[in-house]
Amino acid sequence: MEESPLFWPAYIKEKTLFVLDETLIPTKVKYIAVKNTKEAVSVIRQMKTRAFGQFLVVLNTFLIELSRNKGLAPLKVVKKMQETAKALNASRPTFPFADVTSIVVGWSQKALAEKVEMYSYLEKHIFGFLNGIRFRRLERVSKIAALIANGDSILTHCNVSGELAMAAAMCRKENKKVKFYATETRPYFQGAKLTAWELNAMGAQVTLVADNAVASLMQERLINRIIIGSDRFCANGDIANKIGSYQIAILAKEFGVPLCVLTQPSNTIKKGVDIPIELRDPKELLSFEGKKIHAGNVKGFYPGFDVVPHELITETIAVETGAR
């Protein structure tokens, strides 16, 4: 299967983690070298990577810290894993970092209790976990492609880390004629920079629209399906996803368009209202590449995510991460 660079946007080579700088796409495909937890937290906070990229950075950061701290006593390794987890958990509020980091910390505690060789045990489990996720995500790409019918016109929002573009490529091989509409996704333009770029690169027909054109697309029957990702999943089926997802979901219900969400099930949060929503610095909204957008005195308000209640979701396609 042909892969988009956004499908697996981080890799380890010789004790260094290389993270795809998504803010430079489509101008450049460049990787940032990350050598420790502090640098990993920084790439997450600055949104150099997001969504699935964050998951990869988290797991690979434990591997970097293991290779940086060879020779530590087992108890000290557990403490190092706990410190690493704590720093990563505090990087951004909405993505369920603790769900992922607690798994690795748990492995280190188990290795200590069972007196097995700590380093190889942790490396084996982390690599095994990553390989499992990779396999299940590839499976999900096939499921997305199977969901898409010949003649479909699909709206997507923000970016689903390569999976939709790869499903589009599969559809093309199966001679399905499919159109995509991508919202630009203000203020970071993930739709314009990432989704339109990767769908185009995979040979799909994609049209970029402003975030405020989504109702028009539905009213004019220009789309018949919506596929979005999710950053957080609740026990009752509510999700959190990029800001803009709630109004898309409300419109989908109003105009009878099925809404499919790609999820990573977890029950650590019961319902959507309990999800911590990140409020980002409004400067990121009021200026662009260092230049102010509006003259005069204005304030800004920038919530990073929306909650979508489960009753607005038609279908989910899940990848089990083991996080609970």
Partner 1 sequence: MTKEKSIKKRSIVLVHGIFTDAVLKGFKKGEQYFVLEGRPDLLASKTTIKALAKKKIVPTVIADNMAGFLFYKNLVKEVRLAYQYDDESGVLCDIGALILGVLGRTHQVPVNLYQGQLRRRFLAPQEDLLKFNGKAVAAPETRVYAPLVEWLANEYITKRY
Q: Which is nearer to partner 1, 42 or 207 (CB)?
A: 207
Determine contact, residues 42/87, Cβ cutoff 8 Å: no
Contact pattern for partner 1 over residues 265 through 284, marking x by CB under 8 A: ------------x-x-xx--
Site for partner 1 in 182-221 (CB under 8 A): 183-187, 189, 192-193, 196-197, 200, 205-216, 219
Restricted to residues 225-244, the positions that interact with partner 1 (CB under 8 A) are 242-244
CA 57, chain centre distance (Å): 11
- Judge contact between 62 and 109, C-beta under 8 A: no
Task: Kindly tell me which residue out of 130, 147, 235, 286 binds partner 1, with binding defined by CB under 8 A.
Answer: 286
DSSP state letters, 215-235: HHHHHTT--SEEEE--SEE-T
Per the CB < 8 A criterion, the answer to whether 181 and 154 are in contact is yes
Give the one residue of 2, 83, 117, 254 binding partner 1; rule: CB under 8 A.
254
The distance of Cα 26 from the centroid of its chain, to the nearest Å, equals 18
Extract the tokens encoding 28: 């450049």
Burial environment of residue 221 by CB neighbours within 10 A (0 to 12, 13 to 18, 19 or more)? exposed
Q: How far apart are CB 168 and partner 1 at their closest, in Å?
A: 14
257 binds partner 1 (CB under 8 A): no
- Angle of helix 52-68 relative to helix 74-89, nearest 10 degrees, comes to 150
Do residues 240 and 231 touch, judged by C-beta distance below 8 A? Answer: yes
231 is known as an active-site residue: yes
Region label for 162, one of left (φ > 0), alpha (ψ between -120 and 50) or beta (otherwise):
left
Sheet with 239-242: strands ordered across: 232-233, 239-242, 305-308
Identify which of residues 58 and 208 has a Cβ nearer to partner 1 in the complex. Answer: 208
Instruction: Please give the size of the binding site for partner 1, defined by CB under 8 A.
Output: 60
Give the x/- contact pattern for partner 1 in 138-177, rule: CB under 8 A: -------------------x--------------------
CB 182 → partner 1: shortest distance, Å? Answer: 9
Which one, 142 or 219, has the nearer CB to partner 1?
Answer: 219
Count Cβ atoms within 10 A of the Cβ of residue 117 and give its class: 0-12 exposed, 13-18 middle, 19 or more buried: exposed
Query: Minimum distance between the CB of residue 98 and partner 1, rounded to whole angstroms?
Result: 22
The answer to whether 305 and 94 have CB atoms below 8 angstroms apart is yes
For residues 14-43, which are near partner 1 according to CB under 8 A? 26-27
Residues 94-113 that bind partner 1 (CB under 8 A): none
In the complex, minimum distance from the CB of residue 226 to partner 1, in angstroms, rounded to a whole number = 14
Stretch that binds partner 1, among 94-102, 116-124, 181-189, 229-237 (CB under 8 A): 181-189
Beta bridge partners of residue 227, listed in sequence order: 260
CB of 160 to partner 1, least distance (A): 16
84-92, 105-113, 138-146, 290-298 -> range binding partner 1 (CB under 8 A): 290-298
Task: Kindly name the residue from 99, 231, 238, 306 that is annotated as catalytic.
Answer: 231
Element (H, E) at 323: none
Indicate which residues carry an active-site annotation: 231
Residues engaged in binding partner 1 (CB under 8 A): 26-27, 157, 181, 183-187, 189, 192-193, 196-197, 200, 205-216, 219, 242-248, 250-251, 254, 277, 279, 281-282, 285-286, 288-289, 291, 293-303, 306-307
